[in-house]
Amino acid sequence: MIMTEDGFSYSCTTCPKTGQPCAAGLRLARQLGAALRASEGTIQEDFEMTGHGQFSGACGQECDVVYSLYHKGFRVFCGVPQDTDPEALIRFSNAFLGDGPVPREPVPRAMVVGARIAQYTALTAQA
């Protein structure tokens, strides 16, 4: 699923457990997007943050999650061990979304990738 909301373009894969985009992953992605909007103009271009956690019952069971937040967007990876290298997951998402051959692993169960829409940033800067 691809959608645009609040200045971000979201690409969401389908969770094989539910047959739908991961609802918990999308909620986390929206919260990360809200954090980026709130920090507009205060974070540097080289800002990057990664973290991990666990969704309880999102797909009928507990699901580990790794996320990455950077100046222009975020990524949420569901169904991967919490100690999975975020850089490897980022390479996977870049390849999956068309930037090269997709590696065999790590493969998240579902993911949400969000990127700022340039037009939105320019319009809010003028306001």
From first to last of its 127 residues, what are the pLDDT tens digits of the chain?
888 888 888 899 998 888 988 889 999 999 999 998 888 888 888 999 999 999 886 666 788 999 999 988 999 999 999 899 999 999 999 898 887 788 788 899 999 999 988 654 444 555 4
Q: Are strands 73-78 and 110-116 parallel, antiparallel or unpaired?
A: antiparallel
SS3 state at 4:
strand
Residue 120 confidence (pLDDT)? 46
Residue 122 confidence (pLDDT)? 46
- Give the CA radius of gyration of the chain: 14
Residue 58 confidence (pLDDT)? 64
Q: Domain locations in the chain? A: 2-126
